[in-house]
Structure 1
Amino acid sequence: MRTDEGIEIEGQMCPSLVLWEDTAPKEVMIKCFTDNGVLSFYNIWDKGTGRQSQLHTSGMLISESDNRLIYHCNDIGFDTNFDKLVFSIEKL
């Protein structure tokens, strides 16, 4: 993920951030700062051949609940429940 004004995680500011499902904590609080209102993020994966994104069957399904957007991600493959990674974003 990336914003024009940076991302804060655990008290540190960075211009962009990559979280991996298998190494990130189950719950992470991230603060995103922006002047233009844009938060960019990609559904990426690495199965041993380098980072990949936006391939034929990859994607995200988005639902809304209260003040949150909930993203259900699939990396690649037709046999999916879009449960490879699930995360939510809340605008504060």
Structure 2
Amino acid sequence: MMQTLSSLFQASDGAAVEFGGRLVQPIFQMPLQNAETRFTVHRVSSASSPVQGLCIKATKGGITVNGQSHSQIILWADTSPDTVEIVISSKRGGVLKAWNVWRSGDLTQAWIGNAGMHVSSNGGKTILECSDGVQDVDFTNLVIELEESS
């Protein structure tokens, strides 16, 4: 029986692991260099069931979306636009963190089963290919493009 991604992450103390020839991680983290950084978050695709989402958090700071400030947001595939502009305000040493979540009824889940992401770059964009934890590893469950904008 093959180990789940969550068991591999647990054994690696949360570090990235190699899976199927790809480097996979449980969470995307990006150090923030400026006091204010703008990002465009574009959902390229998502599975319809369970409902997919991207959770975004800023350490030592906050996130502004649609004129409202939050410490953490979830962009759900069934309720948010495909493209969202966010502004992250952070103190020195702040980090943008993003991970995939999914919803079954009223229950939001993350980091269990085969949840994980393959992260790559393409033309200035960071691509997050996410597998939810529900069944086999499938990095097409949620695909996000994250781009720093001016």
Q: Which category describes the TM-score, using the shorter chain as reference length? A: 0.7 to 0.9
Matched, 1:78 2:133: no
Q: Which segments of 5 or more consecutive residues in structure 2 lack a partner in the other structure?
A: 1-55
Q: How does 1:5-16 map to 2 (within 5 A)?
A: 5-16=61-72
1:34–1:88 Cα change, 3 Å: farther
TM-score (norm 1): 0.83
Aligned-pair CA distance for 1:75: 0.8
Q: Which segments of 5 or more consecutive residues in structure 1 lack a partner in the other structure?
A: none
Q: Which has the higher helix share?
A: 2
Aligned length: 91
User: What secondary structure is seen at the aligned counterpart in 2 of 1:39?
Assistant: strand
Q: Which residue does 2:26 correspond to in 1?
A: none
Q: CA RMSD, aligned part only?
A: 1.8
Q: Is the 8 A contact 2:65 2:86 kept in 1?
A: yes
User: Quick one: higher RCO (CA 8 Å, sep 6+), 1 or 2?
Assistant: 2
Deviations 1:5-57 (A, max 9, x none): 11011122222111111211111111122222301222111112611111121
Deviations 1:44-87 (A, max 9, x none): 1111261111112111111101222110111121162x122211
| Runs of 4+ more than 6 Å apart | none
TM-score (norm 2): 0.54
Which residue, 89, 92, 103 being the options, matches 1:33? Answer: 89
